[in-house]
Each structure stands twice: as C-alpha cells, then as structure tokens.
Amino acid sequence: MEKLVISGPTSLKGEVEISGAKNAAVAILPAALLIDGVCTISNLPNISDVKLSCEILEALGAKIKWIDANTIEVDSRNITTTQAPLNLTSQFRASYYIIGAMLSRMGAVQVAMPGGCQLGARPIDQHIKGFEALGAEVVVEKGLINAKADKLIGGSVYMDIVSVGATINVMLSAVLAEGTTIIENAAKEPHIVDVANFLNTMGADIRGAGTDIIKINGVEKLTGDATYSVVPDQIEAGTFMLAAIASKGDVLIKNCITKHLESITRKIIEVGGQIEDFGDSLRVWCDERPKHATIKTLPYPGFPTDLQPQMGVVLSLADGTSIINESIWDSRFQYTDELNKMGAKINAQGTRAFFEGVDHLEGAPVYSTDLRAGAALIIAGLVAEGETEIYNLEHIDRGYENIEEKFRNLGAKIKRVEE
Ligand code: UD1
C-alpha cells in the first residue's frame, strides 16, 4: 500500500503549471466516440480516470495512440460492440457519458451503474429523462443500464436540477439525433463549454453552451480530422490557490483561465488573501492568518463543491468561526473527521459545518475519503506541524497529475512511500 508522507509546516513559494481539466477530459473522451473519423486530443491530464476512459473506448473498438504523455489520437471509425466492460464502467462516475455517446452513435449501449466518489446519493434520473425525451428506451436493472433507440429525434428537455453530468450527457445524445434539441436549466460549468467546443470543432452544431439554454442542431456525421486542446483545470488551479493561502505562501498559478476562478478569487480576498491577475496566470499570496467566512457551494458560477474541502482547511485555520453550507452533495464533510484528528475544530451536521478556527494543525495519519478530500488533506499536511501520513491515494491519483512533484517544486517536503 502506498502512502504520502508530508513534513510540515511549509510556506509554499514558486510557480505551478496547471494541467488539463479532469472533468472536461472524461467527457471529451467518450464524445470522441461520436466521430466517424480520427481526432487528436491534447492537454489531457495524465491521471487514472483518463486512462480508464481510454480503456473503455478501446474495449468498444476505438483505436487509441498515445503521441506523448498528454496527447492521444482516437480513431472511432470502427466501433465493434455496444457492451461497455462492466468492470471498468462501474469504477468511476464519468462512465455515464458512454451512454449518451453510444446512444447517439450506435443506437444502443449497456454499461454498469457508474461508481466514483461517495459524496451522497448520486442519481442519474435527469440523464435518463433527457434520453427518453429524444426517444430512447432506458432500463436500469441489477446494477446495469441498458439503453436503446431505433432513431433519436431532437426534443425539449427541462432539467429539474442543474446537473453537469446530465447536461453533457443529453448534449452528447443529441449531436447525431434528427432535428433540434433544446436543453433548459442547463449547467454552465467551463467543462460543458469545452465539450461543446470539442464537438463543434469536429463538425457538431451546438449553441449556447455556458448559458442555461443549449440548442443542439443534429448533424448526420462528425468527421473529426482536427486537434483539440482540453481547457485548464479550474479545480486544480483552485486547489493550489487555496494551498498558497493556507500555507501563507506566494504562488504563481500558470496556465489557468482566471475568469473561471472568480468565485474562488473573491472568497480568497474576503479571507485576507491577495491576488494579482495576469489573464492566463494568477499570483496568489497571503501574509496573515486568514479571516473567517461563510460559504455556500453552488453550481457554476457559484463556489464549486469540488473546492469545498480545500477551503475547509483554510477556514480550519482562520481567525473566528466559519460556516460552510454544502448544497450539492449530501455527504461531503467526511474529510472533517480527518482534519479533526489533526487538531481542527469542525462540527459537521448534515450539509452544514461549523469551523472554529485553530492557530495550527498537527501531523497525524489520515485517510483520504474521496478525491477532493485527499487534496484537502495534502494541504493540511503541508501546513501542519510534524509528520502527516495520507492513505487511500487511489482517490487522489484519479484526478491530480503529478501532485507530489508539483507541490515539491513549491518547496513542500512530500514523498510517496510503499508501506
Ligand atoms: C460533476 C463533477 C463533480 C462535481 C459535480 C458538481 C464530473 C465527472 N464530476 O459531477 O466533480 O462535484 O459535477 O459540480 O464532471 N442530480 C440528480 N439527478 C441527476 C443528476 C444529478 O438529482 O440525474 C443531483 C446530484 O445528486 C447532485 C446535483 O444534482 O445533488 C449535481 O450533480 P451533477 O452536477 O450531476 O454532478 P456530476 O455530474 O455527477
């Protein structure tokens, strides 16, 4: 078993280069199944969820050639089966994008119910509602999802809940459908725009991505023959920004889209951090103890739930009592038990947690309960006095490329050891 061992405290200083966005990459790869041709995807983060997505595509008949560590060529001309390997699709959440893509391209698909981080109930009713509005028949039975359609016809879908996954999935299913699909109350996250841009580059006709009404005019075929670069990861950028604040450091975050980071930037300024915006990079620093704050997670452009645990570390160390309301996931405060082992004083009750700020944390053995909780524990380990050991690294490896190396370049004393 591998663990991370961190010796703190360290004040992070230097520059970090942000990788391509995980949540865009794991949607763009299934989207490549829609192309009756060859495309090149670059700036892919080299993480286990991307490798898993590639394995699923290959099992369906696509051919994948790695050009370098972050670039692949996908040839989807010959899809050979509609049965996605159950052992792979059950391992992570984003495998649900195979449904929308395969329904559109092949008119049928069988996948396992998606796995992924345990953040509370993760229904897919809005995805299914969208597929059915386009004429698909979807049966969920014994942990399997079977979807088929003789012919998908564009339709109107009003999302009851703002869902990133459902918005992208219905968009995928509509690309090759006959006629026009309108998605209302759509999610607006940057990776939704990125998936739409990728598909449009390959010949799709999607308008309005990034607003709450998306219009997809079905096209007969996507031909590919183009290269697409995945958008920078705003959650990874936010993770390093919050690490800079928690550690009272001074970090230049390079290769990010600062517009995507506004909700985080505002909160960082509110807690006493400082930011210099260069458009495609941000200098983030903090000289004093952070101030307390109240935060509610919301769909984009609100404060992202995927940065809530990392912000929780900052607030654990803040001057005064802070409150976080988690409005997206029912069960996203599991990390607070681990932070309390390190000396934090957090009282989590359901979807709300109270953070009574302490002046320091102390190293302890802790367990990563999900991907972003793992990132939060790394930040806690960097600022804590003494040695922190972090277990369950598979969660962290799903979503962060070269995370130890990136933190080491900022002065952290962090190493991965086999126990
Ligand atoms: C995506 C992200 C995840 C992030 C989340 C919210 C990926 C691979 N994952 O997850 O990192 O935390 O967005 O920003 O991109 N819901 C329903 N029915 C549905 C779908 C969702 O009730 O059919 C609810 C969920 O329970 C949740 C809320 O809607 O309360 C938002 O979920 P959603 O935006 O769909 O999250 P994911 O796409 O799974």
Q: Within this chain, do residues 10 and 133 fall inside the same structural domain, yes or no?
A: no
Q: Within this chain, do residues 312 and 377 fall inside the same structural domain, yes or no?
A: yes
Range of the domain at 323: 2-19+232-418
Q: Within this chain, do residues 188 and 248 fall inside the same structural domain, yes or no?
A: no
Q: What distance in Å separates the CA atoms of residue 129 and residue 155, rounded to the nearest whole number?
A: 11
User: Structural domain tally of the chain?
Assistant: 2
Q: Within this chain, do residues 220 and 268 fall inside the same structural domain, yes or no?
A: no
Instruction: Name the CA radius of gyration of the chain, rounded.
Output: 21
Q: Within this chain, do residues 287 and 185 fall inside the same structural domain, yes or no?
A: no
Surface-to-core class of residue 201, CB atoms within 10 Å of its CB (0-12 exposed, 13-18 middle, 19+ buried): middle
Instruction: Based on the residue annotation, tell me whether 286 is a catalytic residue of this protein.
Output: no
Distance of CA 105 to the CA centre of its chain: 25
Q: Within this chain, do residues 273 and 360 fall inside the same structural domain, yes or no?
A: yes
Asked whether 352 and 326 are in contact (CB, 8 A), the reply is yes
pLDDT tens sequence for the chain (419 residues): 899 999 989 999 999 999 999 999 999 999 999 999 999 999 999 999 999 999 999 999 999 999 999 999 999 999 999 999 988 988 888 889 999 999 999 999 999 887 666 666 678 999 999 999 999 999 998 888 999 999 999 999 999 999 999 999 999 999 999 999 999 999 999 999 999 999 999 999 999 999 999 999 999 999 888 999 999 999 999 999 999 999 999 999 999 999 999 999 999 999 999 999 999 999 999 999 999 999 999 999 999 999 999 999 999 999 999 999 999 998 899 999 999 999 999 999 999 999 999 999 999 999 999 999 999 999 999 999 999 999 999 999 999 999 999 999 999 999 999 98
Closest residue (by CA) to atom 15 of ligand 1? 23
What distances in angstroms separate CA 388 from CA 112, 264, 332, 415, 416, one per listed residue? 37, 27, 22, 11, 12
Q: Within this chain, do residues 220 and 289 fall inside the same structural domain, yes or no?
A: no
Q: Within this chain, do residues 221 and 107 fall inside the same structural domain, yes or no?
A: yes
Question: Where is the domain boundary, 180, 212, 229?
Answer: 229
The Å distance, Cα 166 to ligand 1 centre, comes to 8
Q: Within this chain, do residues 134 and 255 fall inside the same structural domain, yes or no?
A: no
Residues 6+ away with beta carbon under 8 Å from 120: 329, 330, 331, 332
Nearest atom in ligand 1 to the alpha carbon of residue 165 is 38
Q: What distance in Å separates the CA atoms of residue 210 and residue 192, rounded to the nearest whole number?
A: 7
The Å distance, Cα 121 to ligand 1 centre, comes to 10
Q: Within this chain, do residues 199 and 239 fall inside the same structural domain, yes or no?
A: no
Q: Within this chain, do residues 9 and 40 fall inside the same structural domain, yes or no?
A: no
User: pTM value?
Assistant: 0.97
Question: Where is the domain boundary, 202, 229, 256?
Answer: 229
Q: Within this chain, do residues 293 and 408 fall inside the same structural domain, yes or no?
A: yes
Which two three-digit tokens encode residue 211?
């607003």
Question: Where is the domain boundary, 180, 211, 229?
Answer: 229
Give the domain CATH number at 115.
3.65.10.10
SS3 30: helix
Axis crossing angle, helix 22-31 with helix 48-59, rounded to the nearest 10: 10
